Amino acid sequence: MPGNDVILVVDNVHATYNHAITALHGVSFELRRGEFLALLGANGAGKSTTLKAVSNLLPAERGQINAGAIGFEGGDVSHRRPGDLVRAGLVQVLEGRHCFKSLTVEENLVSGGIGRSGRRAEINQDLQRIYDFFPRLAEKRRTLAGLTSGGEQQMTAIGRALMSRPRLLVLDEPSMGLAPLVVQDIFLALKKLNRETGLSILVAEQNSAVALKYADHATVLENGVSVLTGAAADLRQREDMRAFYLGQQASPATQPTHLHAVA
Ligand SMILES: Nc1ncnc2c1ncn2[C@@H]1O[C@H](COP(=O)(O)OP(=O)(O)OP(=O)(O)O)[C@@H](O)[C@H]1O
Ligand SMILES: [Mg+2]
């Protein structure tokens, strides 16, 4: 049995879509309370499927868990509706920075208050906390979300998730389609949230460089299987990990010289 300090346990999960397509066949990892864990893997490795399984969102996509189990704070997530999981503190920011484009940034944030009191004073307090973490959102609070930049929309989506006061925040590819400096801003804010409030974070990323810079630990998926787990600082040193599992080039300095092109 995992101890109290483990908030999420993913234990040998197998999952399929349409009873036919196998997406996961053996994914395991644990996330300790207060930890920032990155889930890495190339295109199609199973990152999004794993995150959807964690929030019990697979049935909505004709997907299912066929074996294994996922526990959040000791309870099996497959017995709980996604909305109940949000109320219990497990909140996910789906891929693609979903905002209501015709609402203002602040209206988007307020709309995220599922599972909490609707008292105006409390809402204002939470809004202020989010504006402290994302000062750009404070500047844009009265702007329609659809008119803000991609980075600001991602921050709005994260801020909306924070309005339901999660204990575990799950994010799918927050870096996608954003400029490198904006990606750094977002990960810095996540790290700050993690450090200062003790929020546990699980983030799926193809961008292993940035994820390994900010996360404490990482688990690597390859073709639906978790193949490697370790401290981010250790994995950062391993060029082979990027080349083998993530489909990325090792940096030129570490490539064998005989592979250099001849003129
Ligand atoms: N809704 C779906 N229906 C059927 N198959 C799916 C569905 N979603 C994902 N798959 C398949 O499941 C496997 C894992 O996909 P998944 O989206 O979890 O990978 P990923 O690691 O998130 O990839 P990416 O980095 O491209 O987002 C892939 O083979 C994919 O084609
Ligand atoms: Mg994905």
pLDDT for 144-159, tens place per residue? 999 999 999 999 999 9
CB burial string 231-254: b at 16+ within 10 A, e below: ebeebbebeebbeebbebeeeeee
The span from the CA of 89 to the CA of 169, in Å, is 8
Residue nearest to atom 9 of ligand 1 (CA): 49
Mutate to test the pocket of ligand 1, among 10, 14, 27, 47 (most ligand atoms within 8 A of CB): 47
Residue nearest to atom 7 of ligand 1 (CA): 17
Å from CA of 47 to ligand 2 middle: 5
Which DSSP helix (H) or strand (E) runs through 170?
strand 168-172
Q: What is the pLDDT of residues 102-122, one digit of tens each?
A: 999 999 999 987 666 678 888
Please tell me the number of the ligand nearest to residue 45's CA: 1
Report whether residue 122 contacts ligand 1, using a CB cutoff of 6 Å.
no
Residue nearest to atom 16 of ligand 1 (CA): 46
The span from the CA of 245 to the CA of 212, in Å, is 14
Q: Which residues contact 120 (CB under 8 A, 6 or more apart)?
A: none
Q: What is the layout of strands, in order, in the sheet containing 6-17?
A: 21-32, 6-17, 63-72, 75-76
- Name the 3-class secondary structure at 250: coil
Q: What is the pLDDT of residues 161-205, one digit of tens each?
A: 999 999 999 999 999 999 999 999 999 999 999 999 999 999 999
Residue nearest to atom 4 of ligand 1 (CA): 17
Distances in Å between the Cα of 201 and the Cα atoms of 71, 187, 193 are: 15, 11, 9
Å from CA of 49 to ligand 1 middle: 6
pTM of the prediction? Answer: 0.91
Q: Which residue has the higher pLDDT, 122 or 10?
A: 10
Name all domains of the chain by residue range, CATH numbers in brackets: 1-89+167-177+200-263 (3.40.50.300)
Q: What is the pLDDT of residues 26-56, one digit of tens each?
A: 999 999 999 999 999 999 999 999 999 999 9
The span from the CA of 230 to the CA of 217, in Å, is 6
Residues with CB under 5 A from ligand 2 (ion): 47-48
Å from CA of 114 to ligand 2 middle: 25
Q: Which two tokens stand for residue 38?
A: 């990155």
Å from CA of 117 to ligand 2 middle: 33
Q: Which residue has the higher pLDDT, 258 or 232?
A: 232
